[in-house]
Structure formats: structure tokens, C-alpha cells
Amino acid sequence: MDHLKEKTLSTENIYDGKIINLRVEEVELPNGKTSKRELIKHPGAVAVIAVTSDQKVLMVQQYRKALEKTIVEIPAGKLEPGEDPMETAKRELAEETGYECENLRKIISFYTSPGFADELVHLYVAEGLEKTGDQHADEDEFLDVLEVSLDEMQEMVENQTIHDAKTAYAFLYLKSQT
């Protein structure tokens, strides 16, 4: 597949942020012409589908500044440097919902926006859930926890209350298991 490869001719670092970096690259295309690529570097993230013993899915409601609105998602968070994604998943689930789990099973990893970003999301199913404490999210993170049945999730997909890629995937995955 080397015939599709783009060679880097030059790289300009535009912004190094707290979470994302932006760089612009001049590339040589397979036909020898040049083009510009705007690229976001992201540390990667995890997301967790957690179903309680009474068959409710744990969801969080959170204001997303990029969208200027509050949306509903499954618990998720970005990887800390050197942290194993499974540990991140356990930590984020506990922080965002107050639930701990006996077991985590990896479902899939996917790139969210390969056209411009390298963010890779690792998706887990949490099994054997137990409420062990209260939500204690990061200091700049404010969220409400919801416990939602599959029927309610279906409605939320239909009325576009849920339209987040990882959460939509989680919904289809759970449906495929029933």
C-alpha cells in the first residue's frame, strides 16, 4: 500500500496545548504534487459501556464547549502519559459514576476522526458493577450520571439526544448482545 503514502516535506508546529497539538505539514502526494495537511495530535482516550445488575446503562451528561451544548455519552476520558488504557477505563468509570467493576473486556479500538486527528478510542465493556462511592470527576469536569434502559437509549438515539460516535457504537453493540 506504499503507493498511497504521503511524504512529509516540512512540519510547522502551530500550537502545543494541554490536550491537543496542532501541526501543519506540507506533503508530497503519490503523484509528486504537494499539498497541506492540518493535523491534530491527541493522547488517545477510553470509553466504557457499563450495564448495572438491573440492566441499566451508565451514562453521563456533560456540557461540551466544542458543541456549545450538553450531550449524553458513556463514561470516557483521555489517557494519561504511560497509563494502561484498561486502568484509565477503570479510573474514569469510578470517577465519573462512582461505580467499580470486577472485569473489563475490550470491544474495539477506533480512530474517531482519521481525516485530521490521531485520537484513538479504546472501548471496553465493564462487568460485575458495584456502586462503591460518589462521583468525583476532575476539577474542571461537571457531569450528571444517568441510568438508562436499552429502550430509553433507543428513544434517545431516535430523538438525537444521543449522537456521539462512541455512545452510538456502544448502543448498537449492546443491542447485538440481546
Active site residues: 139
**CA 118 → CA 51, 86, 112, 115, distances in Å?**
29, 19, 8, 9
According to CB under 8 A, which residues from 146 to 175 bind a copy of itself?
157, 160, 163-169, 172-173, 175
Distance in angstroms (rounded) separating the CA atoms of residues 46 and 101: 15
Give the footprint of a copy of itself on residues 114-133 (CB under 8 A). 114-121
Least Å distance between CB 27 and a copy of itself?
6
Closest C-alpha among 159, 141, 104 to residue 126: 104
Say how far residue 159 (Cα) sits from the centre of its chain: 21
CA of residue 128 relative to chain centroid, distance: 22
DSSP SS3 for 168: helix
CA proximity to 52, closest of 106, 123, 131? 131
Task: Select 21 or 100, whichever has its Cβ closest to a copy of itself.
Answer: 21
Least gap, CB of 151 to a copy of itself (angstroms)? 16
Taking the least distance from each CB to a copy of itself, the nearer of 30 and 128 is 30
| Shortest reach from residue 53's CB to a copy of itself, in Å | 25
Task: Please give the residues from 19 up to 38 whose contact with a copy of itself meets the rule CB under 8 A.
Answer: 19-20, 22, 24-25, 27, 29-31, 33, 35-38
55: left (phi over 0), alpha (psi -120 to 50) or beta: left
What minimum distance in Å lies between the beta carbon of 3 and a copy of itself? 8
Window 52-111: residues binding a copy of itself (CB under 8 A): 61-67, 70-71, 73, 76, 78, 108-111
Q: Which is nearer to a copy of itself, 70 or 132 (CB)?
A: 70
42 binds a copy of itself (CB under 8 A): yes
